Amino acid sequence: MVDEPRDIDVLIEEVITLPSLPRTVAHISQLVTDPNCSLATIAKAISADPAIAMKTLRLVNAAFYGLRQKVSTVEHAVVLLGLKVIKNLVFTATVFETLKGGVDSLLRHSVSCGVAMRVVADHCENGGSESAEEAFIYGLLHDVGMIIFEQFLPEEFAAVNATCREQRAPRYEAERAIIGCDHAMIGARLAQKWRLPETIVNAIGGHHDLEQCQTDDVRRTSAMLSVADYICTACGWPSFPDAVVKVSGDVWAASGLTSVQLPPMLDAYFNERQTIDELVQLAR
């Protein structure tokens, strides 16, 4: 039975248990910020979790990261890439573990959006303040809230799917009407629980509602996320079949992208098709 829509705080208090960040990632995030911590210590911390270590190594060697030499140990990866990139890599490996618990279309959409976000950030006027890895993580995480809904509110999740199919409604509108909040809002709460930077929390929270964004920088990042989301859907990689995605005039203005810039940007994205396939395989 589908309950009445509820406030997000009530849902998190009474129904939804947001998953904690896995200990390995939390530990590594802490180590990376310690100026006295050695690279060897960080490599050891990663290696202590074989599943994450293996996924991290596979990611390092993916074409996405553009390394010319094969990396076969975590220590080598840490030395080659540096702390910030390694932290993002380990985090990406962890998010992959979370995403593979949902449906395959969502995994592919999230990975595609991560790659799209990186391309969009490269092509936006004024450049993006995000690094390539950060832009990828924004895209990867933006719809993680859907997995939370599927796990904790299965009947409402099914009702949202039906409403979207029958009424051709954008998913966030159906979620707000049926559940009381949308996947972007829940995703932001999860990012907050994982102690991710505020920019990521706010960008995820605002990717269907720019009013949630408190600074111009976050507005721009959220707008870029919306555009990346739209591109993935137009390419045939929606979060779920027949998804309807809309981008308002405000979002285009905030993104800084113009029609003239889009064809070469889209070509750059199409050229990443094999990278997307490779990353989806890594994530499974």
Partner 1 sequence: MGAVPFTNGQEGSVVLVGPRENPKGATVVFRGGEDKLESVPFLEALELLHPEAVIDAVCMQERVFGNRGLESPFEPRSQW
> Interface with partner 1 includes 267 (CB under 8 A)?
yes
> Interface with partner 1 includes 65 (CB under 8 A)?
no
- Determine which residue in the list 148, 257, 280, 283 makes contact with partner 1, applying CB under 8 A: 257
Extract long-range pairs of 191-200: CB within 8 Å, 24+ residues apart: 191/141, 193/18, 193/20, 193/21, 194/20, 194/21, 195/21, 195/26, 195/29, 200/134, 200/137, 200/138, 200/141
Extract long-range pairs of 234-240: CB within 8 Å, 24+ residues apart: 235/112, 235/269, 235/270, 237/105, 237/108, 237/109, 237/112, 237/276, 238/105, 238/109, 239/105, 239/106, 239/109, 239/110, 239/143, 239/146, 239/171, 240/103, 240/105, 240/106, 240/146, 240/161, 240/164, 240/171
Residue number with CB closer to partner 1 (91 or 237): 237
Residue number with CB closer to partner 1 (62 or 79): 62
- Determine which residue in the list 234, 250, 281, 284 makes contact with partner 1, applying CB under 8 A: 234
Distance separating alpha carbons of residues 118 and 120, to the nearest angstrom: 6
Q: How far is the CB of 236 from partner 1 (least distance, A)?
A: 4
Q: Which stretch binds partner 1 (CB under 8 A): 1-9, 24-32, 202-210, 256-264?
A: 256-264
Q: How far is the CB of 152 from partner 1 (least distance, A)?
A: 17
> Interface with partner 1 includes 163 (CB under 8 A)?
no
Q: 75-104: which residues touch partner 1 (CB under 8 A)?
A: 103
Distance separating alpha carbons of residues 85 and 107, to the nearest angstrom: 22
> Interface with partner 1 includes 277 (CB under 8 A)?
yes
> Interface with partner 1 includes 15 (CB under 8 A)?
no
> Interface with partner 1 includes 260 (CB under 8 A)?
yes
Residues interacting with partner 1, by CB under 8 A?
103, 105, 161, 227, 230-231, 234-237, 240-242, 247, 252, 257-260, 262-263, 266-267, 270-271, 273-274, 277
